A = this chain, B = another copy of it.
Amino acid sequence: MTWGNATGGTPKPVRVALLGCGTVGTEVVRLLREQATDLAARVGAPVELTGIGVRRPNKHRGQVPAELLTTDAAALVDSDVDVVVEVIGGIEPARTLLVTALRAGKSVVTANKALLAEHGAELFAAADASGADLYFEAAVAGAIPLLRPLRESLAGDRITRVMGIVNGTTNYILSAMDSTGAGYAETLEEASRLGYAEADPTADVDGYDAASKAAILASLAFHTRVTAADVHREGIASVTAADIAAAKAIDRTVKLLAICERVTHADGRESVSARVHPAMIPRSHPLAGVGGAFNAVFVEADAAGQLMFYGRGAGGAPTASAVLGDLVAAARNRVVAGRGPRESAYADLPAQPMGQVSTRYHISLDVADRAGVLAQVAAVFAEHDVSIAAVRQEGRVNDASLVIVTHGASDAALRSTVDKIGGLPVVREVVSVMRVEGEQP
């Protein structure tokens, strides 16, 4: 359903249903009220909030107009609204509600990264069937305008790589470990106490949140359906104080990175790799200075070169800013009978299995301090066809520290190499194994 804006008459308001009223939802309601005049001018019609679907209305009284609250989200979606804004999070009931809305021709604005990363194709299909819009800028990197540039500004370019810090909790923990030298468990506890980590931090620390975002970024960047299941995922729970110290010793810091790459094979075929894992990056790298609640994402494209986007990655107001930007776009499309961008998955590139992805490793070993150790270790690398970029050996009282940085090699080869090295009698301990990113291979 679309309607024109009769010349001279008062334009019909664009009617909006809000699903969810937590930190982000409350901010959306506030901005809709405070910016009403501006929003109407930008949309070309008043934006009217007709209802807010919540589980426990009593919880929200005083914060938002009580008469808008309803527990019947399905009825709200089914009512006479033009745009449904979803900030509930999680798969159900969000999925059913949004598919219903889109099928009925209602445009959807959502901040739901998990839903997009798992059921994006279903949502896009429902949107396409009815001609409704689906916007989700707030699902990745909070307030940072990132998805619209990827979907639209770079639509005439060939994106080759997206790499960024997209989870604030893990970034806070790793930054704190870097500055205090403390271990992971201790730092997580402190982060929870200070409110930087959720009571159940699994989604953040195990990389699920970042993996959902990587799936969304890879889908948009490479015009290919990538789901969270396609993303190789390693969290930060296994990052030790020794890893951080090893990074510091070579002027690097450890960050949890989401990396999406277009891989071009020797025969010209292309595939897509999407992965989330901790990695050492040089302290001089712009991502190294991104602290706490901030997110930053690098995008590399053939013609544009290197771009960086930086800003607040989470929080009620920043996320609400992204939601409102999408809401203005969806509402304006209603007024001018326009249409936002659709799913673009025409490239349909295959996923590159992680074992075949080329990465670099930094390996720190405690070895016996005697002749021939380096030769034995180096032989294992050679055997697995892994080329060594740099070696540093330092004698200590009874043993020696041996640090090796490899050139790019398949992840499978690197893993086998490390496994075999760990079994060498001359190797006392594999102190730290970590990927290296952010420098020329």
| Residues in A lying within 8 Å of B, measured CB to CB | 27, 31, 35, 38-39, 41-42, 137, 143-145, 148-149, 152-158, 223, 286, 301-312, 317-318, 320-329, 332-333, 336-339, 341, 344, 346-347
Chain B hits for A320, CB < 8 A: 303
CA distance A403 to B323 in the complex (A): 47
14 contacts between A and B (CB under 8 A): A38-B158, A41-B223, A42-B156, A144-B307, A145-B154, A155-B325, A156-B324, A157-B321, A302-B321, A304-B317, A306-B312, A308-B310, A336-B339, A337-B339
Q: Contact between A346 and B304 (Cβ–Cβ < 8 Å)?
A: no
Contact A303 B329 (CB under 8 A): no
Q: Which of A153, A305, A332 has the most CB atoms of chain B within a 10 A radius of its CB? A: A153
- Residues B156 and A325 in contact, CB atoms below 8 Å apart: yes
Which has the most chain B C-beta neighbours within 10 Å: A286, A302, A307, A317?
A: A307
Neighbour of A307 across the interface among B145, B303, B317, B336, CB < 8 A = B145
Alpha-carbon distance A187/B39, docked complex (angstroms):
48
Establish whether residues A308 and B309, one from each chain, have CB atoms under 8 Å apart when the complex forms.
yes
Q: Decide: B41 and A156 in contact? CB cutoff 8 A.
A: no
**Distance in angstroms between the alpha carbons of A13 and B222 in the assembled complex:** 24
Please determine whether B338 and A155 come into contact, CB atoms closer than 8 angstroms.
no
CB neighbours of A307 from chain B (8 A) = 143-145, 309-311
* Residues of B contacting A337 in the complex (Cβ-Cβ under 8 angstroms): 337, 339
Assembly CA distance A133 to B190 (angstroms): 53
Q: Contact between B42 and A223 (Cβ–Cβ < 8 Å)?
A: yes
**In the complex the two chains form, is A328's CB within 8 Å of B156's CB?**
yes
Residues of chain B lying within 8 A (CB to CB) of residue A41: 223, 344, 346-347
For residue A289, which residue of chain B has the nearest CB? B286
Interface contact A318-B339, CB-CB below 8 Å = no
In chain B, what residue has the closest Cβ to A28? B156
CA distance A225 to B151 in the complex (A): 28
A10 to chain B, nearest CB (A): 16
Chain B residue with Cβ nearest A346 = B41
A303 — which chain B residues lie within 8 A by C-beta? 27, 31, 143, 317-318, 320-321, 324
CA distance A58 to B244 in the complex (A): 61
Pick the contact of A304: B149, B301, B322 (CB < 8 A). B322
Q: A150 CB to closest chain B CB, in angstroms?
A: 9
Measured CB to CB, the nearest residue on chain B to A327 is B156
Give the chain B neighbours of A145 by CB distance below 8 A. 145, 148-149, 152-154, 307
Chain B positions within 8 Å of A336 at CB level: 339
Residues of B within 8 A of A322 (CB): 153, 304
Q: In the complex, which residue of chain B has the Cβ closest to the Cβ of A153?
A: B145
Cα distance, A158 to B305, chains bound together (Å)? 30
- Asked if B42 contacts A325 (CB within 8 A), the reply is no
Knowing A155-B329, A156-B327, the reply to whether A311 touches B304 (Cβ < 8 A) is yes
A164 to chain B, nearest CB (A): 13
